[in-house]
Amino acid sequence: MKERLFAAAGALLLAACSLTGCGESAKQEENITSDQMPYGSTVSEDTSRSMTISYDKRFVEDALVEKIYTYYHAIESKDGEALGSVMFPLYHAYQLEEVYGGKVDDQALADSTYDAIREYFGYDFDYSYIEITDMVSKLGESAGRDALALQLDQLANEKGEKPVSDDTQHLCELTLTRHVDKKGSGNKTETPDTLTGETLYAIQYQNDI
């Protein structure tokens, strides 16, 4: 099993990881159980790393949290190698070649992403608190997710490979809010300086190649 997290269409595509829940809506009945409640009804905070990550453990496994941490830590530390390590290879190659015209590499992506956020807030930053505010993983729940699934199959077809969907166990779309603070502050709590609505995609797949 090759697990990759892969991120945002229009930004970066992270490679994926294992997933659990599927974002089912809560049933309208009395004595509802936690398993029947939608994403976000229960929230946990993982404070074991340099930034706190908030998420619903019924839907997001620890392996995915680790991939998300690696992604954001790679940006705040401008570590291009770590950034590339969590990218979904097929889509990442497409972005580097087609979206960026072959003019950038992983290090340039890490640097430019960091620099854009630093310029926006006006200071060197670390991520302090990452909120996974929503997750959808079913066909028809997100037009972006469904379009991405088709695009991955098209990219595989262009390379003469079998469809990615043949070996996909889960494909999900996550929405996140990022809180930042001044670099070196050590803060791992929510701050007024936030970036909302980032979309990451994660895929769990089996690749025999």
Please tell me the distance from the alpha carbon of residue 156 to that of residue 142, in angstroms, as a whole number.
Answer: 22
Between 45 and 10, residue with greater pLDDT: 45
Q: Tokens for 64, please give them.
A: 């995915």
pLDDT in tens, 71-116: 999 999 999 999 999 988 888 999 899 888 888 999 999 999 999 9
Please tell me the predicted confidence (pLDDT) of residue 33.
61
Please tell me the predicted confidence (pLDDT) of residue 11.
34
Global pTM exceeds 0.85: no
pLDDT in tens, 151-204: 999 999 999 999 999 988 888 899 999 999 999 999 999 999 999 999 999 988
Domain chopping of the chain, boundaries: 2-23+42-205
Please tell me the distance from the alpha carbon of residue 32 to that of residue 28, in angstroms, as a whole number.
Answer: 8
